[in-house]
Amino acid sequence: MSKLDIGTGLGLGAIVAGLGAGAYAFYVGFIGLEPRTSLPAAPWTISGFLGDIWPAISALPLSHEAQTIVAAHAAFESGWGRATPAKLANNVLNVTRGTGNPTAYWAGECLKSGDLECDAGGACVKITQDFRKYNDLASSVNDYFYTVLGTWVRYRASLAALESGDPEGFIRELGAAGYYTLSADKYVARWMPVFNEVMAKLM
């Protein structure tokens, strides 16, 4: 997200829902997705992905329903762990370096990787982002929750919706705050099937 401080562009999890097989293949090649090979399961299965991220997410001070929303957001943003930032940087929520605000600045290592950025008219272009690189999945989850959602004023409404257990409200508030650049309606339409799948596994 080049014009905003922190967040993502399209959301790599769009490959998971709302795309046909042909569009999926195009998106994989366009954005540089590959099956994860650095973990025991290659690529990650749905159950394997949730099993890997759930210890960190279940430790967050949220209700089980809200924790499930976070898990679904991680699944969507990372394409079930197949996106390059997840695979090579343990970044399952596509959090970028951040610019323009001292509290956003990331002094740690980053990974340059492809993303899509969309304008108000829905036109999307390929860009390169600096994604935060984490030592482990728990660090990714904790940075997302405690730093991005927890300390940034513009995400206050997002955090409130999350804490209330409102999945669609949470995703729409993230869009309003600039976490992603795809239209909120399209993002929600692609995210909800992923959320429902995660709910079926975890609730």
pLDDT band for 99, please (50, 70, 90 cuts). Answer: low
Cβ atoms of 19 and 13 closer than 8 Å: no
With 70 as the cut, is the pLDDT of residue 75 above it?
yes
pLDDT tens-place string over residues 24-43:
333 333 333 333 334 444 45
pLDDT tens-place string over residues 134-148:
999 999 999 999 999
> What's the fold here for domain 12-202?
Lysozyme (1.10.530)
Torsion angle of C-alpha atoms 35, 197, 25, 49, degrees rounded to 10: -10
Domain boundaries, the chain: 12-202
With 50 as the cut, is the pLDDT of residue 97 above it?
yes
Mean of pLDDT values over 87-98: 92
